[in-house]
Structure formats: structure tokens, C-alpha cells
Structure 1
Amino acid sequence: MFRSPVLLTRVALASLIANALIVVTGGAVRLTGSGLGCDTWPQCTDGSYTPTRELGVHGLIEFGNRTLIGIVGPLAIAALVLAVLHKRRELIVPGALVVAAVAAQAVVGGVTVRMTLNPWIVASHFLLSMVALVPAYTLYARVRKDKPAAWVVPGPLRALVWALCGTSAAVLLLGTVVSGSGPHAGDVKAARTGFDPQAVAQLHTDAVFLLVGLTLALWLALKATNAPSRAVGILVVVELAQGIIGFVQYFTHLPVILVGAHMAGACAVWIATLAVWNELRTKG
């Protein structure tokens, strides 16, 4: 049973989904003002690992997000163990990296609380989740492919793929600066970056326009060369949907529900970007 390829595929997919889901729940913690619902770490409050009645609903929300590590961690370990049992060497490194990233996330999460939601540490907490999605997606993609990775596009288009991936990462980075400069700090005690929210939002928007332009250029180039273009087409759709959410949330003064949807969309854009890389790097 443990050597079943179907089981390995399902566990790898579950690990990928869990690593994306914990970003969304982490966003819910911040958007509900529950960032310090548990005011210390690894305990929830002095003398208790679980939230007390005094901590109220904020304590429950923060503690709920913390307990998700009990799902994300075991799934990552299970995927790694199954990769070893299947003797798939190409799966072991990304599997191990997911486990390491999950462990690092737990530590950074603790530091975030200890530092009273310092915006730069909060940003690193989010970005580490994006880093974790790279090996998580790589593991899932490799499970489904039995051929070695190789470029399926010519040299000039490879440079365009690199530029697209780099710009997508830059959009995520700038998004954390926007979040760290805006009103949703996670707690009234939390500091802000001090940057002008409108200025950093405009910079983020400029990067998004560049990303969409690069994606459309790559899609047209792939169509012209009869190269695989399905993943890039999906990325275009995801980017446009995310852009609409971004504009609406900005002009409606950042309602919590739309900010949360935008965070989920950030995961979707990044995963779709990784899918482009995988499609153009993998035969078959």
C-alpha cells in the first residue's frame, strides 16, 4: 500500500495544498486582529499551551492557525518518507526541503509573535511560505512525471521565462511591503513600515503590470513557436483575476474579505508561475 504511486501523488498534492492553505489562515489571523491572540511562543500564554478564556476569540483564531502545523508537518514528512520508499531520488531533495521549510516556518512564526508583529518579520513569514511552495510544487510535479527535466523552448524564450519568474517573485515581495504599510497590522500594538501606503501600492501595481506584460509576451511567443502554452494561459487568467481583486480592494478601502482573497490569489499566482516553469522545463 505504501508503495502505491497513487498514494504518493495524493500525499504530495495534499502537502502542496496545506502549504498554501496555511498562508490563507495566517492572513485571517492578521485580518481579524488576532496576531497576538496568543501573546507568547511556544506557549499560547504564560503557563498554558492552549488559549485561556481571557484571550477570547482572538486567542482561538491564533491558536487555530498554530495547530495547522500539526497537519502541514506530518504531510511533508509523509511525502518524504514515501519518496524514499519509492526509491525516487529526484523526489527526496524537494521532499526534504519542504520538511525544512515547514520547520523554519514554525520558528519564524514564534519570532513574529515575540517581536510583536514586526512588519518585516511578518513579511519574511509570508515569503518563507512562498519559498516552501517551490519544493512542494516541484515534488508534486515530479511525482507526476517520469522523464528528466529539460528545456522545451529555445534560448531567448528561456530568458523570458526567467524574467517572468523573477518578476512574479518581486510582485510578492512588494506585496508584503504594501501589507506592512497598510492598516491591517494584526494587532493595535504592531508597528508599520513607515512607508507611504499609496507610494508602495503604486510600485506594487507597476510590477504587476510588468508581470502581466511578460506573461502575455511569453504566451504569444509560445503560440508562435508551437511550444506548450497551456500553463502560461492559465497564469494570464489567474493574474487578471488577482488584478481585479487588487484594484477593487484598493478603491473600496481594503475590506477584510477582499484582502484575504488577495492573499489567496497571491498563492494562486505563484503556484501558476511554478506551473509555467515546470511545463517548459519538463518533457512529455
Structure 2
Amino acid sequence: MNRIVRPVPGILLRRLAFASIIANVGIVVTGGAVRLTASGLGCPTWPRCTDGSYVTTSEMGAHGVIEFGNRMLTFAVGLIALATVLAVLAHRPRRPGLLALAVAVFLGIPAQAVIGGITVLTNLNPWVVGLHFLASMAVIAASYALWRRIAEPDGPTVAVVPAPLRVLARVTTAVGVAVLVIGTWVTGSGPHAGDQGAARNGLDPESISQVHADSVFLLIGLSVALIFAFRAVGAQRATRAAIVLVAVELGQGLIGFVQYFTHVPAVLVGAHMLGSCLVLLATLAVQWSTRERRPVTLTPVTTPADSATPAVPVTA
């Protein structure tokens, strides 16, 4: 007798995708804790924790426990991603694009683990550590895209703001990515190397911090411009998203300035890493607010309620 597989409801699928976002943000924060407690080489090799053991030993002390614990969290994040993939496969009707996004998130977990292993094998090379962080940002972005796509209907994608404002939103996103990249350079030049013997990237901390601050000022300026531009065309949803983005950026900027003038305390660095994830998510929310998917209908599509500008098709 054939077994009947019950389809996964959309609400469960969306909750799994949201859990994936939370889990990937969480592993960024715990990964920061590894570095900030100088536990980056608590397990001095990879994939084993020591040459003779896959798990930490009592001789390795607290640093070994912290590093090994972070490695174990990778499996938890991977299980959530795998559950999401299986849920997408069981969801009915099949949704275009969902499986590709879910698989991308799932494959990003082992890829991220390999990069983490390379950081250990290279004795916490600051450039590889920076790549490790940026890879997490890419997985978070894919998780967010999956979460948003699940809630959208199947149909054409239309713009709800004029083309110049969509360009401005993309430029803001590009600057936001640049801020994240430069932030890894600042971290690589600073005092929190993850281990007492780990090298720094050789950049002057004061100079690269100034470059980072300048890029943040540019990002905030562009984000404020988005608020006024969206309001001018009556795009209420996009305006709200831009306001949230500016608020998150100001909070993140405040943490950054305080940590700089207080000689980079570990607690504030950890908060700054969490803030980086929130800035990324808020930036992506702005991107999503400039377009929407419309269900296939036999009636003419009308102008969206929150925009005074006629909606035009855009690339999905």
C-alpha cells in the first residue's frame, strides 16, 4: 500500500526559513565569541579538534570547549537548513525558485565550515577570517531571500517605485556590502586576533577605521536620501523599510564609535558583529520593498496602493 505524504503547509515552511535566518545570525555571534575569547585555536586543527581526537579534551581547557562548541553549532544550523530543503520538496504546489534558494542555504553551511577549517589551518590568517565572516553574510542573505520568497505569490515581479529609485536602492546595497568588507579589514588590523599568536593584516588601525567610518557616513546619507525619495513618490512600504534601515545604521554606528574610543572592548565588538547582520537584513528589506510579485490574474493589474507610480515589470 502506497504511503500518502502530507504536503508541508506554507506557514511551517516560512517558520523554518525564519529559523534558518536566526540560526545563521546566531552562529556569527558565537563565532565572534570564539575570537573575542581568544579561543580561535582552542581546537588547533581541523576537521579534528586535535590530531588524535574529534572532540575537545580536558587538557584543552575552556578555549577548547568554546571552539568545539561553535563547531557543533554548525551541525545544528545545517540540520535546520536540511529540514527546510525537505520541507520545500514536500510543499504543494511546487514553488518556482524555492528549491534553488533552500539548496543554496544548505550548501552554504558546509562551505562555511570548510572556510572555518582553513582559518584554523592558516593560524587565523586575518584575511581568511574576514572571508569566513563574509561567507556567513552571504548565507544570511540567501536565507532572507528564501523567507521572503515563500510569502510571495507566484506571478510576475513588478516595480513599485520609479527606476531611478531602484538604482539608488541598489547603490545603497552595494555601499552596504562595501562597509561590511571594509569592516573585516578593520577587525583584521585590531587587537582581537582570536589567539595570542595570530598575525594581523598589517593595515594601520586608525587609517582603516577612518575609511570604514567614511563609508558608513556615505551609507547613512544614501539611506536618508531613500526615505525622502520614497516619500516623494508615495511608496509607503518602501519608506518604512528605509526608516528602519537608518535606525539600525545609526545604532550600529553608535556602537562602532563607542568601541573605537573605548579601545575596542570585546563586548562591544560582539554587539557590532550582531549589528552587521541586522544592517544586512534591513538593507535587503529595502530592496524587497521596491518590488512585489503579483498573482496571475485575468483582470488588468492596477497601480499598487502604497505607490503613486505605475508598477512596471522587473526581472525576478
User: Shared fold (TM-score greater than 0.5)?
Assistant: yes
- Aligned partner (choices 250, 256, 276) of residue 266 of structure 1: 276
Q: Find out whether 1:159 has 2:167 as its counterpart.
A: yes
Structure 2 residue 44 is the aligned partner of structure 1 residue 36? no
Relative to the length of structure 1, the TM-score reads: 0.97
TM-score normalised to structure 2 length = 0.88
Name the SS for the 2:44 alignment partner: coil
State the SS of the aligned residue for 1:29.
Answer: helix
Could you tell me how far apart the structure 1 residues matched to 2:10 and 2:293 are? 20
Percent of residue pairs bearing the same amino acid type: 53
Distance, in Å, in 1 between the alignment partners of 2:270 and 2:189 is 16
| Shift in Å, 1:204 | 0.3
| Other-structure match for 2:291 | 281
Q: How many residues align?
A: 284
Tell me which of 150, 161, 186 is aligned to 2:158.
Answer: 150
Q: Flag the structure with higher helix content.
A: 1
Q: Deviations over 1:33-63 (max 9, x none)?
A: 0000000011111111111011100000001
Query: Which residue of structure 1 lines up, in the alignment, with residue 221 of structure 2?
Result: 213
Structure 1 gaps of 5+ residues are: none
- Displacement over 6 Å in runs of 4+: none
Matched, 1:141 2:151: no
Is 1:119 paired with 2:129?
no
Alignment match, 2:30: 25
Q: How do residues 1-284 of structure 1 correspond to structure 2 at under 5 angstroms?
A: 3-86=8-91, 87-148=94-155, 149-227=157-235, 228=237, 229-283=239-293
Give, in angstroms, the shift of residue 224 of structure 1.
Answer: 0.7
Displacement of 1:96 in angstroms is 1.1
Question: 1:281 deviation in Å?
Answer: 2.3
The 8 Å contact of residues 153 and 293 in structure 2, kept in 1 or not, is answered as no
Secondary structure at 1:20 match in 2: helix
**Structure 2 gap segments, 5+ residues each:** 1-5, 295-316
- Give the residue type in structure 1 aligned to 2:68: F
- Two-structure CA RMSD over aligned residues (Å): 1.1
Alignment partner, residue 309 of structure 2: none
Asked whether the 8 Å contact 1:8–1:83 carries over to 2, the reply is: yes
